[in-house]
Amino acid sequence: MIFTCTLNPSVDYVVEVDNVELGDLNRAKKTAFYPGGKGINVSRVLKKLGITNTALGFVGGFTGEFITNSLKKEGILQDFTLVDEDTRVNVKLKSSVETEVNGQGAVISKEKEQELFEKITTMTAEDYLILAGSLPPSISPDFYQKIAAQCNENNVHFVVDTSGKALEEVLPCQPFLIKPNQHELGELFNVQISSIENAVKYGRKLLENGPENVIVSLGGDGALLLNKEVSAYANVPKGELKNSVGAGDSLVAGFISSYVENGDLIEAFKYGIAAGSATAFSSDLCNKSSLENLLPEIKIEILN
């Protein structure tokens, strides 16, 4: 089974406005609500690609109920840990520029932390766990590390999509995949990544710290897949950017969905790039047909 874990999910309230006038009344021309959070995005894309998965994490209140009902309608399995406070709301304001205001997140008790952790202890080498997103302010700062260590002990394939200290701390537990962008990669080594060559150099240094596979997103310049056997570069297809939310999560979902079915890392990389691009060119997360339409445009170059 593939599990996703979203510790700080959200209800994403997307508001489209022609021109925002600060300090004045603005009227939306279009609004929409979506279940949000990086792991939840991964679950939604996996389901769209025909891959059964189970969503884990913390939800609470009427906003948490919206998330569980939305995922149920999409046929996504759930085993959320219920908390007392409402799940946060993130506001995505789309105008001439895109602005986000993210809620802080619910307070998570130690008992609820342990309740979620117990679910992870039952996973085996047959399972994949995707840890994605930020930590709620109240949660133990080493919670990702604790989960990663448990996965390592049980030989669970786990993917980590986060940044900063939380990412650094899980690296010795040998995650199957991590996905920093070029800025996050630079922050880990206190350098600025300004070329593909630099990204390869520091991506390979990152491999020395434990992960099996590293995907480095270079934005419009493509992406890299690095492991002990290969360094590969992929371009990104051309298209109109409509949605920056969820593209990276779609990349992870596309990669994992392909890999669990075919076991080919290069094909999984290509599939992931197509998924991320398809979401970027859509108003919501990608579907299988939009992904497959982009596959012929993606070329993989082996760098070593």
Catalytic residues: 249
Considering only CA atoms, which of 65, 36, 41 is closest in space to residue 53? 41
> Residue 179 CB: number of other CB atoms within 10 A?
27
What's the CA gap between 200 and 194, in Å, rounded?
Answer: 11
Instruction: Decide: helix, strand or coil at residue 207.
Output: helix
Instruction: Decide: helix, strand or coil at residue 119.
Output: helix
What's the CA gap between 119 and 17, in Å, rounded?
Answer: 42
Question: For 269, phi and psi rounded to 5 degrees?
Answer: -60, -50
Tokens of 112: 């609820």
Question: Which residues does residue 181 pair with via DSSP β-bridges, in sequence order?
Answer: 217
What's the CA gap between 245 and 279, in Å, rounded?
Answer: 8
232, exposed or middle or buried, with CB in 10 Å at 0-12, 13-18, 19+? buried
What's the CA gap between 186 and 182, in Å, rounded?
Answer: 6
- Output DSSP code: residue 80: P
Tell me the H-state helices in 240-303: 247-262, 265-280, 288-294
